[in-house]
Structure formats: C-alpha cells, structure tokens
Amino acid sequence: MKRSDRLVSLMHYFLENPREHTSLPVFGEQYKAAKSSISEDLDIIDRVMRAEGKGYLQTLPGASGGVRFIPELSEENSMAFIRQLCTMLEDPERMLPGGYLYMSDILGDPKMVNYLGRILATAFHDSAIDVVVTVATKGIPLAYATASVLNVPVVIVRRDPRVTEGSSVSINYVSGSSKKIQTMVLPKRSLQEHTNVCIIDDFMKAGGTINGMINLLDEFNANVSAVGVLAEAEDDEDERMVDHYKSLVNITEADGKHQRITAVPGNISPYS
C-alpha cells in the first residue's frame, strides 16, 4: 500500500478510535509496510494535527509500545467556538419562564455538541476518568460527545426508577433553585466501586442536581475527578453547592422583564 493510501486509512482509524492504544507492528502487518514507513506516516499525522490544533499522536515507548490519537481542540479554536455560542445564546427569543433559556436546538445539533464535547475532553485531559456520568435528559448528548473523545463509557442517572434496569440505589436531594425534594436513581450494575467519574450536565444554577449526583456517586465509592457543564447561571439567593467544575459558557444575565440575556465564556476560558 502506498503512503497516500495508508494516510487516509490511518486517519479514519485514529478518528474512529480516539485514545485507543495500538502497537506499531499491528499497523505494519495490516499495511504490509516497514516499521520505518509507518513511523514516518505517524510523524506526518502528528505534525498536521498539531498544526491545525486538532490533537496529536501520543507515542508510548517500551515493549508494549505503540501510539494513540488524542483529539483536542486548541485554545484558539475553542474560544472562537465558545464566543459564537455566546452570541447564539444572547438571542432574546430564548428566554423562558424562571430564568431558563431554550437550548434544545443547540443540544440537538450533533456537530455542535461533538465540538463542545471535544472542548470539555481537552480541559479534562489530565484527569483520571473511567466513565462519564450524566442525569437524564438534557445532559445526555454532551455526555456522549465528551465520552466519545475520552473513549470511556457513559452511565445515565435517572429521576425515575425503571423496571428494565434491575436493582438500584436511589437518593433524595434538594434542588438548589426550586427547593423541591427530588429523587435520583442509578442501577447497581451500571457502576463498579472506586470508579473515576466525570460528571457532565447541560445547565448549573445553584448546583443542586450536580451535588445530588455527587452524593449518589458516593454510595458507589466513586471518585469524582471532573465536573463539566455547558452553561452555568448565577443564582442570587444561594451559594453554589459545587466547587470544582468547568463551564463552557456563563449566563451572567437572563432578565425576562427586559428580554435581555448576557452570555460570556465560562471558567473554561483561560481569560475568565
């Protein structure tokens, strides 16, 4: 196989299998090529991906040595995208009762969500993450987009127990904004003990829902190593119940009376 053909095939493989460790002899075998040729292919891919701010190839030395593609999004690409998202969110038509914003169109766009997932995964690249946990329903797409890039599974916490999941652990929690007592459920078999967890959700106000997830995950002796949300909004009355998190955007103003929304990059921004 010629270099040009190998590069096309390898790129498809790396993008379909992010963070998957593959040893060089596997490629050599598959493409019937010398190790030195494969190494040159990988150098080209690594160089182009870095130059475009889209990730890099990580080489793992030693007997079990090999390579894996780490998808990332450069700060420049990320910030340009987040600023565009802020502009979209400031459309007054999005205003809903209770200081909420209509975001289903944004969360319903797979390409946009995949992009946001890559930004979050880039921010969490130093964290130990075995699984992404979210709560039904709106956080699910962003959770999958993030998990895809991190190459880990997704576990979905539900607000209603379902017959189709077997025995489960449930907790009650107080929603920070509405002060209502709510329930969260996670099937026992969905999470092993002592797992490193990244929590993803779409929206955080006082943080009651995410705090509830942290308490539920405590029951599984999980280690919450990262928390990421699409949007955070300020809450006048309450202190935030969650300390360490990354937000993509920050809704600093959602004034229903004057139909005015102000959105700025969240604390994921290096300038925030």
Residues that bind a copy of itself (CB under 8 A): 3-5, 7-9, 11-12, 15-17, 44-45, 47-49, 52, 54, 96-98, 100, 102, 104-105, 108-111, 113-114, 136-137, 140-141, 144, 147-148, 151, 153-156, 158, 163-166, 187, 189-190
The alpha carbon dihedral of 105, 110, 112, 114 has a sign of: positive
Nearer to a copy of itself, 69 or 245 (CB): 69
Specify the residue for token string 């004057």: 258
Say how many C-beta atoms besides its own lie within 10 A of residue 179's C-beta.
Answer: 11
Residue 146: CB minimum distance to a copy of itself, A: 9
Q: What does the alpha-carbon distance between residue 190 and residue 154 come to, in Å, rounded to a whole number?
A: 9
In sequence order, the 6+-apart residues with CB closer than 8 A to the CB of 209 are 135, 173, 175, 176, 201
Nearer to a copy of itself, 9 or 267 (CB): 9
Residue 272: CB minimum distance to a copy of itself, A: 25
Residue 62: CB minimum distance to a copy of itself, A: 26
Residue 5: CB minimum distance to a copy of itself, A: 5
DSSP string across 78-140: HHHHHHHHHHHHT-GGGB-GGG-B--HHHHT-HHHHHHHHHHHHHHTTTS--SEEEEETTTTH
Nearer to a copy of itself, 17 or 252 (CB): 17
Query: In terms of Cα–Cα distance, which of 48, 52, 47, 38 is closest to 9?
Result: 38
Nearer to a copy of itself, 76 or 243 (CB): 76
Residue 135: CB minimum distance to a copy of itself, A: 10
Nearer to a copy of itself, 202 or 268 (CB): 202
